[in-house]
Structure 1
């Protein structure tokens, strides 16, 4: 007898929980980058985007601690813990992550510049990929968390990459706020979390209104996703600051959070029926306006009600436009109906150009959360979400392995293998499914 969808979902959840942990504190891994003259061992608390030691051969080198990805994974650890599927180990990983992050905040690129031998150590063909001294010297203070990613041994990334990016701090703040709502954290850990959380809220309050690079690290401008998670972090952070008696800081965060929320309406395109993902400095419309990033904004921020939530008809319309887009673009979606494999945006050329596991899980999670929050036609939302999971079941092997992408024509897994974010997205989606099932049963 073939496996039912419910049975497959339960099994994939368990496998994802195990496989995600391979990217958390992978202290046994040593990454050699001979072209840069580097050898590094991951530290406790580091979360790598992929534990597979690739070198663009053809899989990308993702042995980095991204601020964005790591925050998403830390939140998935919380979900595993709350669900009873990961015990004290989850809190140990949290404590290590917080310490690692606090130490990252002390990094100073100016110490790398005097008497540096970076260029001498690098192979001649790789020197063109090195950041220049002036750029590195500017990486201190707020610029550290804006630097997109660091090495998992706790050092600055010396290679040219897309920077700055401002979504890491608010995402981490949201994850930490959710952890703090749990009572079973010891006081020393709570104090460390509070230090890191204050730093992230201050960073977000100072920088939310500035242009940066988008969630995909491609275009410089103002971005719906970054704005949405920043607004949520500031508003939720203000409530926490009020609760601990810091009214002045709470007021400052609340004011800036409301300003950020007010600006989100500027992204709505009435005639097109979706939230544009970005506003570029030139004012010219981007080819990436219709982007799954707005769906991620709906599930990574909170609450699940009100404007810019999963119950906002405009975000729901944006998801519908994306379903239509990818249903048309991807050969694997032809004749499928509901639950198409989802990508990022039209014209994506990164590796196979999609589909992406985390995008398809995000669309499913959006639907599950809408069902749990009492959207009209809640049962239909649940069935729509399950259709996405049924699609992914067709392309996920029995061992549960999730790469970054599954090819839009063949369905073969491509790009980074064992993407930690893919496993985190699976976990949060399936937890949302459980929440939705309970809500429907109670209704």
Structure 2
């Protein structure tokens, strides 16, 4: 089914919020015009954003204004995602990375981007089910199964991108990218769990595809491949994290413990990425591609915690080494871009890029820029961390995380413990939530008329790179879900 034409038309009408969301611990509710015409898919997108309450601390007018904008931008982002699914001229289930076909040409379906995007759609469905969203989920499955059985240059499931007609891209590219099959397996498992009343579809269509991807992960997990940014051939923290999640999810879904042993091997390898620099270094065994990432700092480590954390404390958003890495990344970007000069005093975070040595400017190689999705990764990480700490009932400060917590409590040292519902615990949670909000505020400043491209110009603050980047919108949906106290699966 084709939803994109309706969704694209809706984008023009969403300059103001179209629903209200009750907000915990705030004095005011955000609300807006509910008269915008919708299809049932758009109604589902709207309802999904309004179903839960934000665990934020204070009730200032500024908080209320930001909350209202987050509601507004969530609706816009959800419809932005739908506009990029099944666009005109594509086969069923094609999710374009961007509608941009020139300077740059992003009119392709990347396995990774599509899998992460469909998880945002799945969050919309889980919050407010509809037949239209079921159709979108099944369209994704149709396209991906076809892709898995299409001839590719790498002759493997790690082929990174596909054309709008469903054929594989055959030009020169960084391949394989072995995070894709892992992310796709997790997405399909989540879809299977959501559609568990449709046993024949799960058993006959989803299960064989899931097993095919998981077996590929088992076969390739310790082999070098290109990273999620498509620039470096090596062994990557991000790729290993999504592989571990896929295998653990798969072991549970298929009742097959054989996948668990490989997941345990990956856990051991992950521990080796944190060393003397006191943060997670993103890549080991560099064997090709860009050779200038000397710091090892990369926002993908935080994205990995958001999309692949399993609530078990192993590199989850609230875990000590992830928090330490977030501080190191924040500090390295603090003065890298001219637009960050207005941070702190104005309630804005630093704009965050992919990694400090980055050279990709959205068209070619020069001086790189901040990315919307990287900036949003911080907001999502901190709200997910808050949810994690509340579930655990305490926050435990370690050697690794002490510097992070000293941003909010100068007396924090290794061994400090904050117990849930104590004044100190609440103070830390409120301070981290306030920090998270500054990343939303940064995005708000640069999202022109609610749109989000790939990047933000480092000097002017204008949007650059691929327009209406699907991954930017998907990142906003998941960050807003965490803000609203219901992190996506």
In structure 1, distance between residues paired with 2:282 and 2:118: 25
Structure-1 residue corresponding to 2:326: 319
**TM-score, scaled to structure 1:** 0.81
Distance (Å, rounded) in 2 between the aligned partners of 1:199 and 1:282: 27
Aligned length: 379
Aligned pair partner of 2:220 in 207, 214, 226: 207
SS in 1 for 2:374: helix
Q: Does 1:25 align with 2:86?
A: yes
Counterpart position of 2:280: 275
Structure 2 unaligned spans of 5+? 1-60, 362-366, 396-427
- Corresponding residue number in structure 2 for 1:355: 370
Secondary structure of the structure 2 residue equivalent to 1:204: helix
Equivalent runs, 1:157-196 vs 2, <5 Å: 157-182=169-194, 185-191=197-203, 192-196=205-209
Structure 2 counterparts to residues 109-258 of structure 1, below 5 A: 109=152, 136=153, 139-140=154-155, 143=156, 145-182=157-194, 185-191=197-203, 192-242=205-255, 250-258=256-264
Deviations 1:262-295 (A, max 9, x none): 100110023x221000013469994251000100
Question: Is 1:372 the equivalent of 2:402?
Answer: no
Partners of 1:148 and 1:347 lie apart in 2 by: 24
Structure 1 position 55 matched with structure 2 position 119: no
In structure 2, C-alpha distance between the alignment counterparts of 1:333 and 1:88, rounded to whole Å: 44
What is the CA deviation profile of residues 184-219 of structure 1, one whole-angstrom value per residue up to 9, with x for unaligned ones? 652343231212211111111111111001110101
Q: 1:83 aligns with which of 127, 139, 163?
A: 127
Q: CA RMSD in A?
A: 2.1
Asked whether the equivalents of residues 146 and 163 of structure 1 are also in contact (C-alpha less than 8 Å), the reply is: yes
8 A Cα contact 2:309 2:315, kept in partner = no
Shift of 1:183: 5.0
Mapped partners of 1:79, 1:179: distance in 2: 10
User: For 2:315, which of 287, 308, 312 is the aligned residue?
Assistant: 308
**Retained in 1: the 8 A contact 2:111–2:181?**
yes
CA distance in 1, matches of 2:186, 2:196: 18
Q: Which residue does 1:263 correspond to in 2?
A: 269
Checking the alignment, whether the CA contact within 8 Å between 2:178 and 2:220 is kept in structure 1 is yes
1:419 aligned partner = 469
Aligned to 1:435, the other structure's residue is in SS state: coil
Distance 2:246 2:295 in 1: 25
Partner of 2:408: none
Note if contact 2:245-2:308 (Cα within 8 Å) is conserved in structure 1: yes
Distance 1:300 1:253 in 2: 19
For 1:374, what is the secondary structure of its paired residue?
helix
| Alignment counterpart, residue 91 of structure 2, candidates 43, 46, 50 | 43
CA distance in 1, matches of 2:221, 2:258: 13
Deviations 1:79-111, CA, capped at 9 Å, x for gaps = 111222x622221011111111111122125xx
Are 1:279 and 1:285, in contact at CA under 8 Å, matched by a contact in 2?
no
Tell whether the 8 Å contact from 2:99 to 2:107 is kept in structure 1 after alignment: yes
| 1:395 corresponds to which of 441, 446, 451 | 446
Quote the Cα distance in structure 1 between the aligned partners of 2:201 and 2:113: 22
Q: How far is 1:261 from its partner?
A: 0.9
Question: 1:328, CA displacement in angstroms?
Answer: 1.6
Distance 2:314 2:123 in 1: 25
> Following the alignment from structure 1 to structure 2, what is the Cα–Cα distance between the partners of residues 179 and 156?
24
Equivalent pair of 2:98/2:466 in contact (CA under 8 Å): yes
Unaligned runs of 5+ in 1: 29-40, 110-135, 243-249, 438-443
Q: CA contact under 8 A between 2:120 and 2:478: conserved in structure 1?
A: yes
Q: TM-score, normalised by structure 2?
A: 0.74
